[in-house]
Amino acid sequence: MFKHHYQRPVLTYFQQEFEQESFRRERQRAAVLALLFASGFLLYGITVPFSGLPIGEAGEYKHISIQVAVYMGGMLVYELLVWRTLGLISRRFPGSALSYFAKFGNATVEITVLTAALYMVSRSFDHPILMLLSPIAYLYFVFITLSTLRLSVVVALWTGALAGLEFYGLSLYLLEPVTTSANEFSFYMTQTFPYALKALIMLLTGAGAGYVARQIRLSIELSIERTEMNEQIRTLFGQQVSPEVVEAILAQKGALEASHRKVAILFLDIRNFTQFADTHTPDEVIAYQSAFFDTVATVIRNYGGIVNQFLGDGCMATFGAPLPLDNPAERAVEAGLAILDAVASASQNGTIEPTTVGIGIQTGDAVVGNIGTETRQQYNITGTVVIQASRIEQLNKEYNSQILVSQEVMDELSTINISPRRVGATHLKGMSKDVMLWQLA
């Protein structure tokens, strides 16, 4: 015979978050009730019958306090078991849905046990109906009020309706026969009106609790939806620009005002990419670019940089903006050397085609921030440092090198163990002054 294996349905992000919140609220509710019953058990159930404290003229009714203590102690144990069970379920089966019927069952147990307790204690009275006027009966309202934490209108209405029906039913059972002498005392012992009115108030309290529960639920749903939307924005936006830029934009509510920042710019170029693209299919080219840039971007991110642009046959990375770094130039050089190792390793293990790259690095002041119109903006880094870094990278072909850096970059290095070769002062296209270059690889 084939055994059917139940597979738990896959929950969406919203459903997972809401179910976790539902578990927390139900557990919170059990904890509150456990605390209330513990307080009642200690302050009333134990103090009165066992400490010898007087209870007015009704000293012969001390056993009533013992019955109350048994009820409160039993409910304390019950609520602690509920609290403990919910905790175990949430830890062992994260994301599990709290059964809708379990909330109805728990509410039914709490209300019915209270009704049974009122009946049992009432048997000790000469006039049992008076038990429904005692403070213990107000526990109905405690259960109804805390039903708001169940985040369900229907469960709150069920709690209020069940409490009202059971209270009214018990009152009908305990009412005494109507006598000829009418007074205030006999009114509460023989007439259904005060108990029907109290049952109606319980029902209305349940409706009010249901309204509050719905408002809490809507608030939680809105909060979860906003969180989910923010995560989607981060994910989708982060696929277009660096995650660091996304966080900076969200932190400043989209207003990344232009400012001067000392940065290091790294330009990278893939050697012979045009020839590779001409001899491979578009799918192969895209697959290669994806694998290559994944390798490079990971290294850049590990050293605190961000990739500003993917250029098809290369990329531009920035160190020091939008997140400040203590020494952007040194981080850029470390990243450049690590990129050479990562590309060589990826070429050897077959992740990408055998590849060589050229890298140029320059450091200096740049203007960073959003540029564009009111409807279309782009995070941008501009300045002479960007142009120089691009020109320096292009000279790798001329000097048959892989990493070229400026004298400004070399002046910032302190702990990198390399043996640089001085290339000399070199004219960069479009620049009025020559730049001293060094070859690092």
* HSE toward the beta carbon, residue 26, CA cutoff 13 A: 29
205 and 267 housed in the same domain = no
- 230 assigned to some structural domain: yes
Q: Which domain holds residue 309?
A: 254-439
Within a domain: 107: yes
DSSP string, 281-294: -HHHHHHHHHHHHH
Residues in a beta bridge with 316: 267, 309
Q: Give the bridge partners for 289, in sequence order.
A: none
Structure tokens at 348: 């050897």
Q: Which pLDDT score is estimated for 151?
A: 74
Does 90 share its domain with 160? yes
Which residues are bridge partners to 435 per DSSP? 426
Q: Using the 3D structure, point to which of 181, 200, 234 is the last residue of a domain.
A: 234
Q: Give pLDDT tens digits for 285-344.
A: 888 888 898 889 889 888 888 888 888 788 899 898 777 788 899 999 999 999 999 999
Q: Are residues 55 and 119 in the same domain?
A: yes
What digits encode the pLDDT tens for the residues 314-327? Answer: 889 989 877 778 88
Q: Are residues 26 and 147 in the same domain?
A: yes
Which residues on adjacent β-strands are paired with residue 102?
none
Residue 341 lies in a domain: yes
Q: What is residue 330's three-state secondary structure?
A: helix
Rounded Cα gap, residues 264 and 361, in angstroms: 7
How big, in percent rounded to 5, are the helix, strand and coil portions of the chain? 60, 15, 25
Average pLDDT over residues 78-103: 72
Note whether residue 99 is domain-resident: yes
What would you report as the CA-atom Rg of the chain, rounded to the nearest whole angstrom?
Answer: 37
Q: How confident is the model at residue 3 (pLDDT cuts 50, 70, 90)?
A: very low
Query: What is the three-class DSSP state of 437?
Result: strand
* Cα–Cα dist 361/319, whole Å: 10
Percent above pLDDT 90 for the chain:
11
Instruction: Give the model's pLDDT for residue 159.
Output: 85
The reply to whether 228 and 291 lie within a common domain is: no
Beta bridge partners of 369: 380
- Read off the pTM: 0.51
Domain count, the chain: 2
Q: How confident is the model at residue 102 (pLDDT cuts 50, 70, 90)?
A: confident
Q: Could you tell me if 199 and 107 lie in one domain?
A: yes
Residues 246, 237: Cα–Cα separation, whole Å: 7
- Report if residue 28 sits inside a domain: yes
For residues 209 and 270, state if they share a domain.
no
Retrieve residue 31's tokens.
């904890």
The reply to whether 272 falls in a domain is yes
Looking at the structure, do residues 134 and 273 belong to the same domain, yes or no? no
Neighbour-count burial of 118, counting CB atoms closer than 10 A to its CB (0-12 exposed, 13-18 middle, 19+ buried): buried
d(CA 148, CA 37): 19
Examine the domain organization and report whether 230 and 274 are in the same domain: no
**Confidence band (pLDDT; 50, 70, 90) for 236?**
very low
Tokens 């531009």 belong to 316
230 and 259 belong to one structural domain: no
What residue type is assigned to position 273 of the chain?
Answer: F
- Domain end position, chosen among 234, 266, 296: 234
Both 153 and 219 in one domain: the answer is yes
- CB 387, CB 366: distance < 8 Å: no
Identify whether 349 is part of a domain: yes
Residue 436 pairs in a beta bridge with: 425
**Residue range 152-174, pLDDT digits in tens:** 788 888 888 888 888 888 888 88
- Residue 411 sits in a domain of what CATH number? 3.30.70.1230
Whether residue 272 sits in one domain with residue 229? no
49 and 61 in contact (C-beta within 8 Å)? no
How does pLDDT run across 353-364, given as a tens digit for each residue?
A: 888 999 999 999
First to last CA, the chain: 68
* Structure tokens belonging to residue 147: 């039903």
Closest CA to 219 of 11, 15, 18, 13: 18
**DSSP SS3 for 36:** helix
Residue closest to 429 by CA, chosen among 395, 396, 379, 391: 391
